[in-house]
Amino acid sequence: MVVLVAVALVALVVAALYATRLRRRLAVAEAAAARYEGLAAHLPDVSVLLYDRDLRFTLLEGAAMLTHGWRREDVEGRLIAEVIPAGRREELLDQCRATLAGEAATHDWVSVRDAARRYRTVHVPMRDARGAVVGGMMVVRDVTESEALRSAIDAQQAFLSGVLSR
């Protein structure tokens, strides 16, 4: 009888320790999410999207996408394949799958809603405390204006180069 009580007490202590660790991990994850949201909310041309291993968006924050018609309620909780149009879906899913495999990457793409808008997207794996990839993060920056300026400078340089070579 004493042995059974001792075993039960040990089991309760182990369960309590496990529950405490889970609460700590949850608190750390919630604090990280709050930091991402706060940072993204204050950058005018940046959005942050988080997704899980099932390729489901879990967060959309920031002005870059919100100001161009993307709404949280249309994105969060939905599969990427449900949100991105079929013609552009694989382009993004390939990047997301590579990120879930542990690779970080950057790519530029034309907006799926407005062909005049250009975005630069950085994909970063999100890892748990043990280093396992648990999801991905896309940091999306609207580079429409900076790319237009770069193109104008390139055109001016080409023109001047042509004039000077004559």
- Going by pLDDT thresholds of 50, 70 and 90, the confidence category of residue 84 is confident
pLDDT of residue 94: 92
In single-letter form, the type of residue at position 136 comes to G
- Going by pLDDT thresholds of 50, 70 and 90, the confidence category of residue 104 is very high
At residue 54, does pLDDT exceed 90?
Answer: yes
Residue 79: other Cβ atoms inside 10 A: 14
pLDDT of residue 166: 73
**CA-to-CA dists, residue 129 to 22, 41, 123, angstroms:** 12, 26, 19
**Residues 40, 47: Cα–Cα separation, whole Å:** 6
At residue 40, does pLDDT exceed 60?
Answer: no
Question: Are 75 and 81 in contact, with CB atoms under 8 Å apart?
Answer: no
**Residues 96, 98: Cα–Cα separation, whole Å:** 5
At residue 149, does pLDDT exceed 70?
Answer: no
Q: Who wins on pLDDT, 7 or 120?
A: 120
**Dihedrals φ, ψ of 116, to 5°?**
-80, -15
pTM of the predicted model, to two decimals? 0.65
Q: Which stretches of 42-123 are DSSP H helices?
A: 63-66, 72-75, 80-83, 86-100
